[in-house]
Amino acid sequence: MADQENKPRRPFKLPSWLKGVLVAVAIVAAGGLGYALRPVLDPSVQQVPSSFTKVLATYNSIQEKYYKKTSSKTLANGAISGMMASLGDQFSTYLENDEKSSLDSTISASFGGIGATVQQTSSHLEVASLQAGSPSQKAGMKVGDQLVKVNGKSVEKSGVNAAVSKIRGKIGTTVTVTVRRDGKLLKLTMKRAKITTDTVTTSLAPADKSVGILTITSFSEPTAKQFKAGVKALRKQGAKKFIVDLRGNPGGLLEDALQIGSMGLKNGQTIVKVQDRSGATQVYTAGKQYDHGFKVKEPLAVLIDGDSASASEILAGAWNESRGVPLIGETSYGKGTVQNVAQISKNAEVKLTVAKWLTPNGNWINKKGLAPTIKTSYPAWAQIQGFSTSKMKLGDESADVHSLQISLQAAGQTIPEANGYFGPTTQTAVKNFQTQQGLPATGETDVATIQALIKLLSGKLAQNDNAISSAVTYLQKH
């Protein structure tokens, strides 16, 4: 595996808030860096070295003499966390309870939910879509329903993420969602089911319908199957060439990267090399053991950015060095180490760096990243890091106000200078934007205003994607 926690944000990369405004109910977000190996169960205990007598002596001392009663579990967790921290490796961590569950859900790309997506409108939370055969559809939920309560508690003033966290839960448990439809309140009770996340989405390039676009958001257990299905679907729609968009993809399971990598290479070509601490190197090559005979022989282009990491870089590097596929965008993150997971109890596991990986040509891209063949950048307004608050008003001065000003400028509002100060000019721009969006023209931002701004800019970015345009141009010539 390659880690998804504690990933430092790089400046000037596309913020996730611009990549879409819909949040799937009960989806577990996969932030940070991805994994390169499947989790493994390793409960074995090696012989304890003599130096650990100090650890046991400290434990006994605390238990016998500390002025407060302390549980052995707390002390054990502290010892484990301390050992992991002593490695000085941000990708080696101790995970317990919710953190472990989040990791497991990310790897499996599944969760306990109701199979609906929710979006924030100007005045309420609204059901945006329903999965076929999902608990939400079976219970009678409809697109356009307004979310009012979850298990009897109001979510009308909650953000999307807060509402989602209340709806998701353990598979098989029951949740009651109250919705407003045609002025009437309806209680819908449903049993949470296993919902599989779409880690691959497809579309045809707006400028050339013969070019199919496959966007991979992470490498999880269903990703390779979803990629294969996506290629087949795009072929039926007339696609003759493909763009594989790995921007913002934090990585994931090595197995799925190997399968997809093999699909784009001839049998025997190198996908990746994994080197352990002794220097022993295992070379992974394309073949039926990974792709089961399914190949993508059409011309390819791969999109990367500073948030493309780990398994994303494995795939990009494999196709670039073994097949000559161009990398378009910005330099990738540079995550060249491999982690696996050892489950040490029912609710805890240790994620540990066990090796480093090399590209087919033997390059270690750790902290360097993959350089793009064709460099393209996001517009300046798409490089802001997002907002830490939705509430801004006259007299405020902050980085959020600066981001707001740049966003309003991109939305067509007149602000001479983005200086981070919410003055009268910014207030007027906010009022004008709110009026255009059919919102109360208060001159102060709120959740609805920021959501409307994000939605507008997301649409604008989709229509002005320099990397997609460059990739289409390249593929038209090759």
Beta-carbon count within 10 A of 263 CB: 21
Considering 321, 332, 407, 455, which one is annotated as catalytic? 321
Dist. CA 27–CA 25, nearest whole Å = 6
Strands 208-216 and 337-345: unpaired
Q: What's the N-to-C CA distance of the chain in angstroms?
A: 35
Whether 310 is a known active-site residue: answer: yes
Q: How many CA atoms does the CB half-sphere of 210 hold within 13 Å?
A: 10
- State the catalytic residue, choosing from 105, 308, 310, 403: 310
61 as an active site residue: the answer is: no
Is 335 a known active-site residue?
A: yes
Q: Which residue has the tokens 């052995």?
A: 72
Three-class HEC string of 61-116: HHHHHCCCCCCHHHHHHHHHHHHHHHCCCCCCEEEECHHHHHHHHHHHCEEEECCE
How many C-alpha atoms does 278 have within 13 Å on its Cβ side?
3
Catalytic residue among 335, 349, 407, 470: 335
Q: How far apart are CA 163 and CA 310, in angstroms?
A: 31
> How many other C-beta atoms can be found within 10 angstroms of the C-beta atom of residue 433?
22
Q: How far apart are CA 392 and CA 220, in angstroms?
A: 38
Residue with tokens 């919410």: 422
Which residues are catalytic, by number?
310, 321, 335
